[in-house]
């Protein structure tokens, strides 16, 4: 069984602490005995590549994607294989509204390298809702062979239940995510729609000390080399619903 924290923000998210740099994230993941992490900045994938590169060197498997805010202002964790990452970024660029970021109010949105040198500063506010419905986002992510996971569904803000008031029966979620403070047994008891669904728990870390504060144990079928692929992780998550 491998510990996986699949919802982590970086300095690219305006709400992410400036200490959430690529090297700090990988160091903290190792300290917390995580084998797999997911980099999911708000509506952007641009920091994923550098963290994945460092993770490969340090023995941490890094899944890439974004926490997408749908038109309904629902947060969804979306993860794709690396060869689909550019396509996902093009999609986000197309549908993110060009609202200028106010750094003094929302915070900086930075892409940095291992040495914490700034490579890029995103000019548009990443926490805006994109111009795509939750069903459109789900269909697009699945067209890429990715994972579509409604985020922190127990929260009273930006969750599928807080925004829609129900879980659409036609929505093809690969799993759902609960937050670190959720009472799993009580929540499942009070929400019968969760029967037969896979459930993950993630940190939604915005600060280094939060990384690994919640995680999911995944049973992966890995080759003899021990290499963890996106498809290995995807299969393990889909098995959670069995």
For 14-64, how does the pLDDT look when each residue is reduced to its tens digit (9 = 90+)?
998 999 999 999 999 999 999 999 999 999 999 999 999 999 999 999 999
pLDDT at 224 over 60: no
pTM reported for the whole predicted model: 0.96
Report the chain's mean pLDDT, rounded to a whole number.
95
pLDDT at 196 over 90: no
Q: Domain 2-239 maps to which CATH number in 3.20.20.210, 3.20.20.140, 3.90.950.20, 3.40.50.360?
A: 3.20.20.140
What is the mean pLDDT of the segment spanning 163-180?
95
pLDDT at 221 over 80: no
Which pLDDT does position 225 carry in this prediction? 56
In sequence order, which ranges of the chain are alpha helices (DSSP H)? 22-31, 48-58, 85-95, 134-143, 160-164, 184-190, 230-239
Instruction: Give residue limits of the domains in the chain.
Output: 2-239
Q: Band the pLDDT of 242: cuts 50, 70, 90.
A: low
Alpha-carbon span 205 to 223, nearest angstrom: 30
Alpha-carbon span 2 to 63, nearest angstrom: 14
């Amino acid at each position: 069984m491998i510990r996986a924290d699949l919802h982590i923000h970086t300095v690219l998210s305006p709400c992410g602490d400036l200490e959430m740099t690529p090297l700090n994230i990988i160091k903290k993941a190792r300290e917390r005995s995580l084998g797999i992490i997911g980099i999911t900045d708000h509506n952007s994938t641009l920091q994923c590549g550098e963290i994945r590169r460092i993770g490969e060197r340090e023995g941490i498997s890094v899944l890439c994607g974004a926490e997408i805010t749908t038109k309904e202002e629902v947060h969804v964790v979306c993860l794709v294989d690396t060869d689909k990452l550019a396509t996902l970024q093009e999609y986000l660029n197309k549908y993110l509204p060009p609202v200028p970021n106010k750094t003094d109010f929302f915070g900086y949105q930075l892409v940095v390298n291992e040495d914490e040198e700034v490579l890029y500063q995103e000019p548009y506010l990443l926490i805006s809702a994109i111009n795509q419905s939750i069903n459109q986002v789900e269909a697009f992510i699945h067209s890429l062979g990715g994972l579509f996971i409604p985020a922190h569904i127990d929260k009273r803000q930006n969750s599928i239940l807080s925004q829609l008031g129900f879980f659409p029966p036609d929505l093809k979620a690969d799993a759902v995510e609960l937050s670190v403070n959720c009472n799993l047994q009580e929540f499942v008891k009070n929400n019968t729609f969760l029967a037969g669904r896979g459930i993950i728990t993630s940190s939604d870390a915005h600060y280094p000390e939060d990384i690994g504060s919640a995680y999911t144990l995944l049973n992966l079928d890995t080759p003899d080399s021990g290499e963890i692929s996106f498809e290995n992780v995807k299969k393990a998550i889909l098995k959670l619903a069995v």
